[in-house]
Amino acid sequence: MAKSNFEYVRDFEHETRCLPNTWIVVRIDGKGFHRFADLHDFVKPNDTRGLTLMARAAADVMFEFTDVIISFGHSDEFSFVFRKNTAVFNRRAEKLSSLVTSLFSSSYVFHWNDHFPDTKLRYPPAFDSRIVLYPTDENMKDYLSWRQADVHVNNLYNLSFWSLVLKGGLKPCEAELKLRGTLASDKNELLFQEFGINYNQEPPMFRKGTTLLRKSVDFLGKGKRTIVMPYYCDIIKKDFWDTHPELLKQ
């Protein structure tokens, strides 16, 4: 086919390929979800409907991108780890991050009514995304540990904050002042002494975030099927990687 005089503009396009033999992580995060959660009456500090909807959208990403070996999320974020040698879209960074993000966003909206049957979606939510490459297994495991440690820190703070506000009758600024400079042990103590909450008995989904893994299971005696399974466990300790040795072999 004859080329048009306009074809040359293609030369302005630039594509970035992810370095070979490195773990590719795509992390998405909701834009302005503080307000989004308020507007849709999310339960504070943890709305289970919101968390399971995030996990549902993440599972759709894993169904579509079978090279994602593990994903981890909490609050309004999710991280997707592609196996080191994935050749999907020739490892083109923009393709990967834009497709993961748009599929996640549309799935979030697609499944909204299943999770929030009584709440009308007030506007189309958006998610940002970034790509990070990790050269060693250790770096990739530390990345996931970092995200899970963040869940712990945030959740302990948010639970303390909202207990002081909703049950203790403090104004938000007073609760913030009371928590300023406190250690994790102080917050545990405050939750227990003032509100009778044993932090370790809070739902694991709130404390540990959601980890999604691909597992092969026997399907009604008709052979193996691959499913995406949620786990609410510690992924920081070495034990997790010993229990799922296939993860690092891909």
Q: Interface with ligand ATP includes 203 (CB under 6 A)?
A: no
Phi-psi region of 220 (alpha: psi -120 to 50; beta: other; left: phi over 0): left
Of 22, 23, 27, 42, which lies in the binding site for ligand ATP, with binding defined by CB under 6 A? 42
Of 15, 17, 34, 172, which lies in the binding site for ligand ATP, with binding defined by CB under 6 A? 34
Choose from Mg ion, ligand ATP, none: what does 37 bind? Cβ within 5-8 Å by kind.
Answer: ligand ATP
Q: Interface with ligand ATP includes 51 (CB under 6 A)?
A: yes
- Residue 66 has phi, psi (to 5 degrees) of -75, -5
Token look-up 């080329």 returns 3
Q: Interface with ligand ATP includes 209 (CB under 6 A)?
A: no
Residue nearer to ligand ATP on the CB measure, 126 or 248 = 126
Residue nearer to ligand ATP on the CB measure, 31 or 225 = 31
Least separation, in Å, of the C-beta of 186 and ligand ATP? Answer: 21
Helix (H), strand (E), coil (C) string for the chain: CCCCCCHHHHHHCCCCECCCCCEEEEEEEECCHHHHHHHCCCCCCCCHHHHHHHHHHHHHHHHHCCCEEEEEEECCEEEEEECCCCCHHHHEHHHHHHHHHHHHHHHHHHCHHHHCCCCCCCCCCCEEEEEEEECCHHHHHHHHHHHHHHHHHHHHHHHHHHHHHHHCCCCHHHHHHHHCCCCHHHHHHHHHHHHCCCHHHCCHHHHHCEEEEEEEEECCCCCEEEEEEEECCCCCCHHHHHHCHHHHHC
How crowded is residue 54: how many other Cβ atoms within 10 Å of its Cβ? 25
Residue nearer to ligand ATP on the CB measure, 18 or 45 = 45
Of 30, 45, 73, 209, which lies in the binding site for Mg ion, with binding defined by CB under 5 A? 30
Residue nearer to ligand ATP on the CB measure, 50 or 56 = 50
How many residues sit in the footprint of Mg ion (CB under 5 A)? Answer: 6
Of 39, 47, 145, 241, which lies in the binding site for ligand ATP, with binding defined by CB under 6 A? 47
Give the C-alpha separation, 82 to 89, whole Å: 12
Q: Interface with ligand ATP includes 17 (CB under 6 A)?
A: no
Q: Interface with ligand ATP includes 33 (CB under 6 A)?
A: yes
Q: Interface with ligand ATP includes 130 (CB under 6 A)?
A: no
Q: Interface with Mg ion includes 77 (CB under 5 A)?
A: yes
Q: Interface with Mg ion includes 108 (CB under 5 A)?
A: no
Whether omega for the bond prior to residue 45 falls within 30 degrees of 0, making it cis, is yes
Of 25, 57, 61, 76, which lies in the binding site for ligand ATP, with binding defined by CB under 6 A? 76
Q: Interface with ligand ATP includes 73 (CB under 6 A)?
A: no
Least separation, in Å, of the C-beta of 128 and ligand ATP? Answer: 7
Binding site residues, ligand ATP, CB under 6 A: 29-34, 37, 42, 44-47, 50-51, 75-76
